[in-house]
Amino acid sequence: MKKSVLTQTDTQQLIERAHNLNPVTKANWGLMTATEMLVHCNLAHQGILKAPKSDKSATFRQLMFKFIFFNIRSEFPKLAKGPKRFQTAGNAPDASYEEEKSKFVHILSKYPQIDYTLEASHPVFGPLTHQQWGIFVWRHVDHHLRQFGV
């Protein structure tokens, strides 16, 4: 079964891994600091949790990417680029690390308790189902925790 942030146990495992992160942990790849990664995730997750239902259909290209991501790949590719609004390299002071980490844990802990359906559109995959969002978010967080060796 695929891991998902909609499952309490899977989310708790991510949170426990995040507790092993610290502000001086160096990335195994990419340019972000630990603080910048937390800000990046917080921005992305706040957007996902507040996004309206998609009213558009997926393009053929989005359907192909979605199929590969959810059925063939098991993790994010290293150095994958996200939307510019979530790029935080150089924009998060290390002094905000503890605040961002606390926010990160708080936001993650919301997913298993959501009482509405996530049905927003993703820029690469197009509209995702509630279950697909749960898997996507888990893989996104796992990707960044592995980036920092936790």
DSSP E strand stretches across the chain: 121-122, 126-127
> What does the pLDDT read at residue 82?
66
**CA–CA distance, 72 with 67 (Å, rounded to integer):** 7
Helices (H) and strands (E) in the chain, counts: 5, 2
Instruction: Enter the tokens of residue 114.
Output: 């959501």
Cβ(112)–Cβ(5) below 8 Å = yes
Cβ(134)–Cβ(7) below 8 Å = yes
DSSP letter, residue 77: P
The mean pLDDT value for 84-100 works out to 73
pLDDT of 84 higher than 90 = no
CA dihedral for 120, 125, 126, 128, sign (positive or negative): negative
Query: Which percentage of the chain shows pLDDT scores above 70?
Result: 91
The mean pLDDT value for 28-50 works out to 92
Q: What is the pLDDT of residues 118-141, one digit of tens each?
A: 999 998 999 999 999 999 999 999
